[in-house]
Amino acid sequence: MGAGVGVMAARPDTYSPAAVIELEEVSLGWRDKVAVRDLSGCFEKGSLTAVVGPNGAGKSTLLRGIMGLVSPLAGRIRVTGESDGTPAFMPQQGGFDRSFPVSTRDFVAMGAWRRVGPWRAFSSAERQRLDEAMQAVGLGDFGRRPLSTLSGGQLQRALFARLMLHDADTYMLDEPFSAVDRATTEDLMDLVLEWNRCNKTVVVVLHDLELVRRCFPQTLLLAGQCVAWGSTDEVLTPENLHLARHLCAGDYL
């Protein structure tokens, strides 16, 4: 911790008291390929940020790095939080087994893991919270349905309900709307906005720029490195987008 304070004191310009996730010259990658180079900045408490960029820009890797699933090759990532520092994370393609014999309600209940752990029983308060989450995503009547019978959209709703049960201060979602229809996207986006109104920090990887412009105040444009990071209007300019495409294309030429 002492070293961290020293770094912050040395660089007062990047220090922000409200920062929930701070990145200092972070490089992330897999084996010999660097996916994100030299990224610095912070996600502030209660902010709503979209992470956009071409395929292979390192968006998923950044989220995994913040979650601690990938160790940074260089630099440091600091995650702070009030109750429990770890953000709630929804990976892109959940590696989960859709055919697993479990009811939808039990699947969603997994989200309470941080409070119930491997052995504690579900208290009545916990059950109520579970019911509320199922209602909120519109799966109130689906509790007893086996997971394998859910459609793609319903499954995504179940994943959102599971995420809500984390009750975390920070949410990280990796392309949560890539496989769902318009109506489901609208419903789930309303939920994200609702979390943000409750002063939760939300980071979402997205491809739908129209949705980003409409709903997200902050945007981080990635292309193997930070192209622009700030308010959405200033970031999503034609020049920046062109530069991002160019940077990522260069990687493969």
Partner 1 sequence: MNSIELLYLPFVEFGFMRRALVGAVALALAAGPLGVFLILRRMSLMGDAMAHAILPGVAVGFLTAGLSLTAMTIGGMITGVIVALLAAAVARLTPQREDASFAAFYLVSLGVGVLLISLRGSNMELLHVLFGTVLGMSDAALLLVAATSSITLLVLALIFRPLVLECMDPLFLRSESRMGPVVHVVFLLLLVMTLVAGFQVLGTLMVVGIMMLPAAAARFWAVTAIGQMALAALVGAFASFSGLLLSYYANLPASPAIILAAGIVYFLSVTFGRQGGLWQVAKQARARSLRLSRIPERN
- The whole-angstrom separation of Cα 145 and Cα 148 is 8
**Rounded least distance, CB 33 to partner 1, Å:** 18
Say if CB 152 and CB 174 are below 8 A apart: no
Stretch that binds partner 1, among 44-52, 75-83, 109-117, 207-215 (CB under 8 A): 109-117
Kindly tell me which of 30 and 100 has the beta carbon lying closer to partner 1: 100
- Under the binding rule (CB under 8 A), the answer on residue 179 touching partner 1 is no
The residues in 36-75 that bind partner 1, with binding defined as CB under 8 A, are 67, 69
Judge contact between 137 and 188, C-beta under 8 A.
Answer: yes
Q: Which stretch binds partner 1 (CB under 8 A): 1-9, 23-31, 96-104, 189-197?
A: 96-104
Least separation in angstroms between CB 65 and partner 1: 12
Size of site (CB under 8 A) for partner 1: 22
- The nearest distance, CB 63 to partner 1, in angstroms, is 11
Dist. CA 181–CA 94, nearest whole Å: 18
100 forms part of the interface with partner 1 (CB under 8 A): yes
110 binds partner 1 (CB under 8 A): yes
Instruction: Give the binding site for partner 1 (CB under 8 A).
Output: 67, 69, 86, 89, 91, 94-97, 100-103, 106-107, 110, 113-114, 117-119, 146
